[in-house]
Amino acid sequence: MAMKATIYLSNTSSSRHFLTSSSSSCYSLKQPIQFSLQQPQQLRFAASRSMSSTCRISASSSSSSMSIQEAPLKTIKSSFLDRKESGFLHFVKYHGLGNDFILVDNRDSFEPKVTPEQAVKLCDRNFGVGADGVIFAMPGFNGTDYTMRIFNSDGSEPEMCGNGVRCFARFISELDDLQGKHSFTVHTGAGLIVPEIQDDGK
């Protein structure tokens, strides 16, 4: 039987907080709470904020009662781009004037992190992420700041793409936290390009 409980937490300032599964705040219960499943309406209890930076509140049930208790939770970093777990491909998705691309931070290698065949699967709009292509931000070549490579949704590799360059420039500015008006050099299959970011970030 599916159930839903609304949980309110009160702190020392007497203000109330609604706790969801995505909340990053951490609380500890003042006392165990049990309630009957016969009338699953709302559950209110007092809680004090914990000094621990990693915790979660989990629910366990037995027969016709449910108890809420605190349990440890792994730390989640603020940005997925900072996480480097092996076996995962971290990416962001941008669009430039209607063309959408998957952007991959590949600055640690001259070899793309996915193959053309894998790019086809990623770009599939029914069974993948869905995109017109996969763009890789790679180390510079022959004195340039970066290299840009693209795999199209059919697995082919073009020399470059104008709308892809727009997305690439924005991606680099966010990766390197570039502020204000600035430009950088990019090596592509079509030669050297120099994107320029304006003061408004465009």
pLDDT at position 62 is 43
| CA–CA separation, 68 and 45 (whole Å) | 10
Mean pLDDT for the chain overall: 71
* pLDDT over 70 percentage in the chain: 56
pLDDT at position 84 is 55
Would you call 192 helix, strand, or coil by DSSP?
Answer: strand
- Left, alpha or beta for 143 (phi > 0: left; psi -120 to 50: alpha)? left
pLDDT at position 53 is 41
Token pair 């007092």: residue: 46
pLDDT at position 199 is 76
Question: What tokens appear for 35 in the block?
Answer: 């309630």
Question: 134 has which bridge partners?
Answer: 102, 151
Locate the domains of the chain by residue range.
Answer: 6-71, 80-197
Mean of pLDDT values over 13-18: 36
Mean of pLDDT values over 58-78: 42
Across 39-43, 45-49, 80-84, which has the greatest mean pLDDT? 80-84
Adjacency order of strands within the sheet including 42-44: 16-18, 6-10, 42-44
* pLDDT over 90 percentage in the chain: 46
pLDDT at residue 11 greater than cutoff 60:
no
pLDDT in tens, 89-144: 889 999 888 899 999 999 999 999 999 999 999 999 999 999 999 999 999 999 99
CATH architecture, domain 80-197: Roll (3.10)
pLDDT at position 202 is 67
